[in-house]
Structure 1
């Protein structure tokens, strides 16, 4: 799951417009990219256009539109929330670029979607620079404190790991050093045209004015009520009068507005140094637990010095070639780039386009199992463990792994990992049994996509892990801290690449992805959903490239999330459509609620942009373009 707020007050939209009246510097215009799609080319729109209406306060009860698909020119955004997309669209209309829009949108997510992301968490930022033709990434993943012990998740009273939920999740020991503010600073420094002060204005206005509580926000608060009641500042913020905010009430967060204003004045140093850093450390080391609460809320070891030493890291992206496209993703500690890439390399050994849908989906399930087996064996923070990225993404290794994919039937699961350090591409013995490690990644998180008029592209996935993160609101600051360290393996094993180590970043499945053709971007996509992010992105790529779907169809199609287990979780729509046929291949399915909640933008001929968001999952997202086609 992930958290998303749906209904907004008129005051919110008006505050957004008023906060964005200042112009943002423009970048040089660059020719648009070619396309996957065959849409007719249309001349691009003017390089700079805005109207007084952009800054006008809307009529009472008006809210930003929820549009799952928008087609047009001049830039586009897609997110899981209409207010967030309105923020990004307005930045683009005011002359900002994709990075400016992405940072402003991410800050707004911290207000309207506080249970999924915010400045107390981290994420991966992938950027295509039209001026250089390069894809580059920023790793803003959280880090383990310098004093974290290998047995940090073990209850000293019992000698056994704390129960995962709610005990370990709701704790200081699960909190990693946040990376989101440093990511924003680094992204704006490298590619932005505006300041952090400007980028924070719309989100600050939303936090101050408030938004109207919808059913989803209410229900998610109720679902976390026992956790939130254990922590005094969390109760004060999210459980006013001792209960979840009522549907239709206005929820304001003046503490977060004040925190954003502090960052606007002092930059991210105001977060990582000084009083706020110490307050974060204090909340982790001595969680503000309410009286007479039985939930243990284990303390952590994060210090102000850990915050002061945090750095968002520039990393080379992963890249594979797939049917003439270059697919770029996130390198370790991200596992999405290698796992999506390896699965694509395996699938490229087969002509999926010539198969019927059940046969193609059988190949998808089997390739995913093989890639997930290798993910478990090799993926961790590459600064601490030797991850054979080149081997995992080698076509020769993929040919060797593809030998184990039987087009006629499913292999027994789980399958074993391959040897990504020694391979020759030759077929050996049939697939043998392996192990499937426990998956502790939450299905929360959020994602956004932005393209500007100059051809720059941003795909950004950010998170605080669990819905509601660690449950700890920093007193008086209005934001939740993450529980990202639960993405480490719970029990320490010296051979496990994802074992707990001080200073290390836990393995992540976040898979922000940008696809190029002939060196130019044609598609950007990503999703929330924990380890299900990988299969969501992979299935969308297969849908679009191999199965002939439009990008709108690719995002709406029912999903399965194969992860090297005997039973594949799948949406009921997938089971209804394909379950009977795939059972004939030997597959078994477990119907599960919504998988992923993706966003994407496709770049077509003449710069035609097709921005898409989920049409129905969790209420649907919001995709907007600067100048709609035909307007």
Structure 2
């Protein structure tokens, strides 16, 4: 769009009211079953925003954007207008999967050595909380394109629930309070962030109402003018804030300036691309192609499992094979996957049956592969001898959020969106009500001595590699599952294990979401949630040589399953991240 001259209403500072408001912990429903459309997110208000749009005649795409915009209000530390994501859409009319790559892009002034000083990488924490980490946001263009290409309702209608939510406010729960408290020290160094999220100098109390009138104004302008707002006021504010972060006088924090310009922001383009696809147990699993590594790595791991063909009745053996498949797929991800506009990603090879067989032959039923495992040989030799070891660093933040939607016409959306770390860069755009991403820290800061990381070095306009893996599974061409999760680099392993638990182990969808999670990412140890320890499976896997380290929580998934009777089962987390909310039109 061309430049627009906008008249902006005077900004009203967002605030938290001091009076207690009703706090209903029982308002969330983790599962819902029925007919018509469905929505599942991590947040009740966001799910309700999507349902409002469905009830008014909107489709799954409209509902997904409405829910995502609402999450920008209630989950501002995980997603929002200043971030990006990946949108996977099944069109019932076409019987086809479409995807939008809305990943943030590096500024035109960014170079391979932009995260180096004196030839050494800058401290990672300093990179996170800086203007240097801010990429051109992809979320506004993703929302606009999705609605324009596939929606039933205009953008101004789709954005209305989130605008009302931002104006009226939402009730602060324990998760929001705790996330604010964890970020309070750095939030306090940015006046706009402190004013919004630290009312009275402290995290808002559980049960109080938080309003964000600045964001309501931002959303209202976007609803009227679309991404045209990035060519003037809002876009200029994003660029100016990243280039020269407004820091509190007297703050001692090192906050580096960024490289983002208004031309970077207004020139952002969403990439419409073909999804990844693999066949698994007679089902077709679709997800995101690079710049995300989600679809390729989940797909390769599933192909390795197909080659190994473990007995689903032997739970420990199935888990052993899944962990080993994940380890090998991560080795290949780290070596070969980056933004395909800048590097030659061997996607066809990585997702081929022949390559999977080459990788599967390394797996031993009686022992564990040493880690880090080496990437596979791309020359097609099929030999089990691995190439020279490589291991790239892993910096992806554990935040992000995921949602799924469907409608009465049979359309389905699986959408993962993020601002990277919990709290992103920590820098709120003054007067605009949203935090900027720190997505560029997903680049490798330098190439390892082994050569690992070269595919994911910074470059002008480049998208950093992601692990986001929103997926839609078809059975005989019709939707069977839609799923995804937040969790940084653990996203891939969570999606993989959810698929294995539902398809191979035969767990119900709610059971698969509730099961203790493991995450093997080509490391000597596998992360495991506390409930896994002491189980018979843990003892059997440990006897094989697997080593486990405890982590409190992995991911916060949302999923849909389409039932033989034409109904839909919507499932969100029951406990993780405070629990999610699922709803259907006709329970």
Q: Which residue of 2 aligns with 1:423?
A: 380
C-alpha distance in structure 1 between counterparts of 2:36 and 2:256, whole Å? 50
Greater mean deviation of Cα atoms: 523-532 or 90-99: 90-99
SS in 2 for 1:606: coil
Q: Which residue of 1 aligns with 2:363?
A: 405
Shift of 1:66: 0.8
Q: Which residue of 1 aligns with 2:420?
A: 465
Shift of 1:521: 0.9
Shift of 1:575: 2.5
Q: Which residue of 2 aligns with 1:448?
A: 403
Q: Is 1:218 matched up with 2:177?
A: yes
Residues 513/360 of structure 1: CA separation in 2 closer, same or farther (3 Å cut)? same
C-alpha contact 1:436 1:565 (8 A) present in aligned 2: no
Q: Which residue of 2 aligns with 1:573?
A: 531
C-alpha contact 1:570 1:592 (8 A) present in aligned 2: yes
SS in 1 for 2:505: coil
Residues 96/509 of structure 1: CA separation in 2 closer, same or farther (3 Å cut)? same
CA displacement 1:67-109 (0-9 Å, x = unmatched): 1111110111100001111111222122211001000000000
CA displacement 1:407-443 (0-9 Å, x = unmatched): 12111111100023x114x4433x5772332210001
Could you tell me the TM-score, scaled by structure 2's length? 0.94
Q: Is 1:143 matched up with 2:105?
A: yes
C-alpha distance in structure 2 between counterparts of 1:180 and 1:187, whole Å? 10
SS in 2 for 1:607: coil
Could you tell me the TM-score, scaled by structure 1's length? 0.87
C-alpha contact 1:123 1:140 (8 A) present in aligned 2: yes
Correspondence list, 1:64-103, <5 A: 65-103=27-65
Residues 412/211 of structure 1: CA separation in 2 closer, same or farther (3 Å cut)? same
Q: Which residue of 1 aligns with 2:154?
A: 195
C-alpha distance in structure 2 between counterparts of 1:348 and 1:474, whole Å? 48
CA displacement 1:365-406 (0-9 Å, x = unmatched): 100000000000101000100000000000011011110011
Equivalent residue for 2:139, pick from 162, 168, 180: 180
Residues 149/579 of structure 1: CA separation in 2 closer, same or farther (3 Å cut)? same
SS in 1 for 2:519: coil
Shift of 1:529: 0.2
Q: Is 1:480 matched up with 2:438?
A: no
SS in 2 for 1:260: helix
Q: Which residue of 1 aligns with 2:7?
A: none
Q: Which 5+ residue runs of structure 2 have no aligned equivalent?
A: 1-16
Q: Which residue of 2 aligns with 1:300?
A: 258
Q: Which residue of 2 aligns with 1:491?
A: 446
Shift of 1:63: 8.3
C-alpha contact 1:77 1:85 (8 A) present in aligned 2: yes
Q: Which 5+ residue runs of structure 1 have no aligned equivalent?
A: 1-7, 13-59
Correspondence list, 1:354-373, <5 A: 354-373=312-331
Q: Is 1:619 matched up with 2:574?
A: no
C-alpha contact 1:330 1:513 (8 A) present in aligned 2: yes
Equivalent residue for 1:435, pick from 375, 382, 390: 390
Residues 433/556 of structure 1: CA separation in 2 closer, same or farther (3 Å cut)? farther
C-alpha distance in structure 1 between counterparts of 2:120 and 2:200, whole Å? 37
C-alpha distance in structure 2 between counterparts of 1:9 and 1:357, whole Å? 52
Shift of 1:151: 1.8
CA displacement 1:328-372 (0-9 Å, x = unmatched): 010000100000000000000133344411111000110000000
Shift of 1:115: 0.4
CA displacement 1:235-266 (0-9 Å, x = unmatched): 11111222111222211111001111111222
C-alpha distance in structure 2 between counterparts of 1:568 and 1:480, whole Å? 32
Shift of 1:161: 2.0
Q: Which residue of 1 aligns with 2:186?
A: 227
Q: Which residue of 2 aligns with 1:115?
A: 77
Q: Which residue of 2 aligns with 1:28?
A: none
CA RMSD after TM alignment: 1.9
CA displacement 1:285-324 (0-9 Å, x = unmatched): 1100111111111111100011121111101000001110
CA displacement 1:591-626 (0-9 Å, x = unmatched): 111101100000011311111111111221111111
Q: Which residue of 1 aligns with 2:122?
A: 162
Shift of 1:61: 6.6
C-alpha contact 1:570 1:591 (8 A) present in aligned 2: yes
C-alpha contact 1:492 1:500 (8 A) present in aligned 2: no
Q: Is 1:523 matched up with 2:481?
A: yes
Q: Which residue of 1 aligns with 2:464?
A: 506
C-alpha distance in structure 2 between counterparts of 1:571 and 1:63, whole Å? 24
C-alpha distance in structure 1 between counterparts of 2:19 and 2:351, whole Å? 49
Residues 302/496 of structure 1: CA separation in 2 closer, same or farther (3 Å cut)? same
SS in 1 for 2:300: helix
C-alpha contact 1:331 1:338 (8 A) present in aligned 2: yes
Greater mean deviation of Cα atoms: 128-137 or 233-242: 233-242
Shift of 1:159: 4.4
C-alpha contact 1:412 1:433 (8 A) present in aligned 2: no
C-alpha contact 2:396 2:441 (8 A) present in aligned 1: yes
Q: Which residue of 1 aligns with 2:201?
A: 242
C-alpha contact 1:527 1:537 (8 A) present in aligned 2: yes
CA displacement 1:29-72 (0-9 Å, x = unmatched): xxxxxxxxxxxxxxxxxxxxxxxxxxxxxxx7778831111111
C-alpha distance in structure 1 between counterparts of 2:331 and 2:23, whole Å? 51
Equivalent residue for 1:281, pick from 236, 239, 242: 239
SS in 1 for 2:322: helix
